[in-house]
Amino acid sequence: MPRTLEYIKTRKQFGVAIGKFQVLQHRMVDCFTNAQEARSMALMAALKVDDADATVRRKAASGAKVPDRQVGQVLRPERGADAWRHGASPTKLAVSHYFKRLTMIDLMFGNQQHHLTRYANLSMAA
The CATH number of whichever domain residue 40 belongs to comes to: 1.20.140.10
According to the model, what pLDDT value does residue 69 have? 46
Tens of pLDDT along 21-75? Answer: 888 888 888 878 877 888 888 899 999 999 999 999 999 888 887 655 455 555 5
* 88: Cα within 13 Å, side-chain hemisphere: 12
User: CB atoms < 10 A from the CB of 47, how many?
Assistant: 10
Global pTM value: 0.63
Which amino acid, residue 85?
R
Cα distance between residue 63 and residue 52, in whole Å: 17
Cα distance between residue 36 and residue 72, in whole Å: 13
Query: 70 φ, ψ to 5°?
Result: -105, -160
Show the domain range for 71.
2-125
Q: For the chain, what is the domain count?
A: 1
